Structure 1
Amino acid sequence: MPRPSAAEEDLVRQAGRALSRHGLVHAYGHCSMRLDAGHFLVSPAKPLGLVADEDACSVVPLDGPLPEGVLGEVRIHREIYRRRPEVGGVVRSMPRRVMTLGTARITPRARHGFGAYFAPFPPLWDDPQLLRSDEQAAALAEQMGPARAIVMRGNGAVTAGASLEEAVVLSWYLEDAARVEFEARAAGIAESGVILSEAEAAQRATWAGAIRERMWAHLTAESGKP
């Protein structure tokens, strides 16, 4: 079992606190980063906004049972890492607008720049129950496929990125895409509104120009500090 570095544990704790500070998780939610081909590091089993510097993260193997004390839905992370070697970070979140749309079996369309990262729209896991079995988690990962996110009906979302930082940024992007979708529908302009074409979305969904790094810096900045 690999031993994570202090920097790796600090990164997971920092990501969790950022998700909480921006309303993407609350009492529920977790995040993780890949350590190597066979293990990942997951946040402490407590509300992410309450995670302290002394709270230890847990190393989870891709094979075998979940370690004692690790939350049951961390199975989702494990199944995604198993299937997608390019994924370096996973976030299980509870964004408000994503949750609202999901109850109606709606996922946000690629209506603006941030929505482009999920074009044409994220898949929907059409089951509001908690995922507490290996079979359920495997089925969700299969349905997610290569997508950057999957919306869970009435139960939040999961994002996957090349790094934990990217997965956190994608969680914010997904909620903003849901905000635009919700407001367009509320204003009655959803049908007449423009959806990005496949070519437009592919061009816009870029990380060039430090796009990921700037949003990560924004999300992890402490309130009141420059």
Structure 2
Amino acid sequence: MRVASRALGRANLVHAYGHCSVRLDDEHLLVCAAMPMGLVTKEPGVVVPIRGPLPAGVLGEVCVHQQIYVRRPEVGAVVRSMPRYLMSLSAASITPIARHGPGSYFAPSVPLWRDVQLVRSASQAQGVVDTLGTSRAVVMRANGAVVVGGTLEEAVAMTWFLEDAARVEYEVRAIGAADSAVFSEEDSRQRATTAGRIIERMWDYLTVGDVEVDAGTL
């Protein structure tokens, strides 16, 4: 959890805001400390019930994590991020579509939750998770994204993939090629693989040099 928090911070996928969690079992999740993720050192996470009120000091948007774990039993981890390109596109109600390898994991496009308010209630969280559906990510208009994965490593890697898809979306639109540079459904299906240590290699890339990785204390 600490390594993931710092990795997301170093990659500029989060800043003062953002959080991640892992499913511990059917009844509990572990969420990172409520602080800028890049500044996490030895701070422990907080155990949160998947069903029930959030403990004191836990960020309000963790209610989204709770809803995801209840409704998506295959999900083992959640990342809430605010990457640069994704934020810019979402302010215009645009989300990435499948235009390159990393974008294929979110084909045909990333769903958009249109409410610009911070998620602080069960009803809002339900709306976000309804919009997420069976996708790997949901974008919140002008407010970042929520990404899910079977493991924390996968959720972190997919967060990087999502921002790279947003970068490509932004740049393809800038050169006027939005209508031509699109993967087919079959292209996306074949390309969106996790074989060949896809997730593991991205995790290694994002965590290289981390103090706990180098010290072998994980």
Q: Secondary structure, in 3 states, of the residue corresponding to 1:36? A: coil
Match of 1:130 in 2: 118
* Structure 1 residue 192, shift from structure 2 partner: 2.6
Match of 1:27 in 2: 16
Match of 2:60 in 1: 72
**2: CA distance, partners of 1:156 / 1:128:** 10
* Structure 1 residue 72, shift from structure 2 partner: 0.3
Match of 1:192 in 2: 180
Match of 1:175 in 2: 163
Identity among equivalent positions (%) equals 59
Task: Tell whether 2:199 aligns with 1:212.
Answer: yes
Match of 1:159 in 2: 147
Runs of 4 or more, structure 1, over 6 Å off, are none
User: Which segments of 5 or more consecutive residues in structure 1 lack a partner in the other structure?
Assistant: 1-11
What is the one-letter code of the residue matched to 2:38?
G
What is the one-letter code of the residue matched to 2:193?
T
Q: Secondary structure, in 3 states, of the residue corresponding to 2:22? A: strand
Q: Secondary structure, in 3 states, of the residue corresponding to 1:215? A: helix
- TM, length-normalised to structure 1: 0.92
User: Which segments of 5 or more consecutive residues in structure 2 lack a partner in the other structure?
Assistant: none
- TM, length-normalised to structure 2: 0.95
What is the one-letter code of the residue matched to 1:189?
A
Work out which of the residue numbers 182, 204, 209 in structure 2 matches 1:222: 209
Match of 2:101 in 1: 113
**2: CA distance, partners of 1:192 / 1:118:** 18
Work out which of the residue numbers 69, 78, 92 in structure 2 matches 1:90: 78
**2: CA distance, partners of 1:131 / 1:21:** 25
Deviation readout 1:8-32 (Å, 9 max, x if unpaired): xxxx111011000000000000000
